[in-house]
Amino acid sequence: MSKTLNPELRRALAERVRYYHELGIYDFYRREGISASATAVESDPPESVPVTQPESREEMPRKSAAAVIPDHKTFEVLSSRPEQNVADPAAGLKLIREDLGDCTRCKLHQQGRKQIVFGVGNVHADLMFVGEGPGADEDAQGEPFVGRAGQLLNNMIKAMGIRREDVYIANIVKCRPPGNRTPERDECETCSPFLMRQIAVIKPKVIVALGAVAAKNLLAINAPMSELRGRFYDFMPSGVRASENAWQGAKLAVTYHPAFLLRDPRQKGEAWKDLQMVMKYLGLEPPKKAAE
Ligand code: SF4
């Protein structure tokens, strides 16, 4: 049976699906048993009203029902992320960057950013670091963790027996919050779906969340650092299915943000314990000298 869709309804559906994509929602399911009507697609009926009523369905002219049945292809095409079936992670990240464009999705785009700081590093990395957001140096250079905190992060990575070029580094938000303020909840929620897609493309074995903002946004847990640190979490980016590309997700560890360690160097020993836990999991050799 040919199932065509009213062009206006098709456009409305496409807009709605795009809107969900912006929120990081990619999977859509068709509920069995719902009669194919425009109102059923637009909004669910009240709970007290049965979803299908056989009497009225039998009376419904077949032609009009067929005219409003959603075309599955509309959902199939629009619900897949452009990078989803791309095997090369570099190409996948390029597609995500193109999708991001000259982003104006949250208010950070008009609060003095010089450029979007997408992320940098090895697209095949086993280890990924996620910070909070770009600072002044990162905003100027277009690369995450390049200022003083970045220098300390480099030292931490070196102390693990690897190089900065071996890992991938990104942030929860990609535009600098004015005055280096903490990114606000709506900004994190708007931007982080792109980070989730980056993670899904890179498929790291371990993600290290640097600081409370990164940890809380990735884990959706509101807890102090003392409770978040010291253990691994099983992490799967939202909008990604475990069956996708045979990737079972990453282990996520939480440690202090390097900027915090610059302010309170006494906590470096604690951060080193977190990194040692990660090294053990990844089978990295203990270095001769710990990070300063
Ligand atoms: S922070 Fe993210 S969502 Fe907001 S404008 Fe920048 S790139 Fe877009």
Ligand 1 centre distance from Cα of residue 85 (Å):
25
- Smallest Cα–Cα separation from 166: which of 202, 116, 216? 202
Mean pLDDT, to the nearest integer, of 139-154? 97
**Confidence (pLDDT) at 25:** 59
Q: Is the CB of 108 under 6 A from ligand 1?
A: yes
Q: Is the CB of 9 under 6 A from ligand 1?
A: no
Quick check: helix, strand or coil at residue 255?
strand
Q: Is the pLDDT of residue 55 over 70?
A: no
**Confidence (pLDDT) at 142:** 98
pTM strictly above 0.85: no
Residue 52: pLDDT band with limits 50, 70, 90: very low
Q: Is the pLDDT of residue 220 over 90?
A: yes
How large a percentage of the chain has pLDDT more than 70? Answer: 69
Q: Is the pLDDT of residue 202 over 70?
A: yes
Residue whose pair of structure tokens reads 């600098």 in the numeric block? 176
Residue 85: pLDDT band with limits 50, 70, 90: confident
Ligand 1 centre distance from Cα of residue 220 (Å):
19
Cβ-contact 134, 116 below 8 angstroms: no
How large a percentage of the chain has pLDDT more than 90? Answer: 64
- What is the DSSP pairing of strand 127-131 with strand 250-255? unpaired
Q: Is the pLDDT of residue 56 over 50?
A: no
Cβ-contact 154, 114 below 8 angstroms: no
Cβ-contact 219, 228 below 8 angstroms: yes
Cβ-contact 211, 257 below 8 angstroms: yes
Task: State the closest ligand 1 atom to the C-alpha of 133, by its place in the atom list counted from 1.
Answer: 1
Higher pLDDT, 238 or 59: 238
**Confidence (pLDDT) at 69:** 40
Q: Pick from 138, 172, 174 the residue to mutate for probing ligand 1's pocket: most ligand atoms within 8 Å of its CB.
A: 174
Instruction: Please state, in angstroms and rounded to a whole number, the distance separating the CA atoms of residues 135 and 274.
Output: 24
Task: State the closest ligand 1 atom to the C-alpha of 103, by its place in the atom list counted from 1.
Answer: 8
Q: Is the pLDDT of residue 78 over 90?
A: no
Higher pLDDT, 45 or 269: 269
Ligand 1 centre distance from Cα of residue 157 (Å):
27
Average of per-residue pLDDT values in the chain? 81
The one-letter code for the residue type at 231 is: R
Residue 234: phi, psi to the nearest 5? -80, 125
Ligand 1 centre distance from Cα of residue 70 (Å):
32
- DSSP per residue, 41-108: HHSPPPTTS-S--HHHHHHS-HHHHHHHSPPHHHHHHHHS-TTTT---HHHHHHHHHHHH-S--SSGG
Task: State the closest ligand 1 atom to the C-alpha of 190, by its place in the atom list counted from 1.
Answer: 3
Ligand 1 centre distance from Cα of residue 181 (Å):
15
Q: Tens digits of per-residue pLDDT, 275-291? A: 999 999 999 986 665 54
Cβ-contact 141, 116 below 8 angstroms: no
- Smallest Cα–Cα separation from 218: which of 203, 198, 196, 240? 196
Mean pLDDT, to the nearest integer, of 156-161? 97
- Smallest Cα–Cα separation from 170: which of 202, 201, 195, 196? 195
Instruction: Please state, in angstroms and rounded to a whole number, the distance separating the CA atoms of residues 274 and 231.
Output: 8
Q: Is the pLDDT of residue 19 over 90?
A: no
**Confidence (pLDDT) at 81:** 83
- Smallest Cα–Cα separation from 209: which of 266, 269, 132? 132
Cβ-contact 120, 138 below 8 angstroms: no
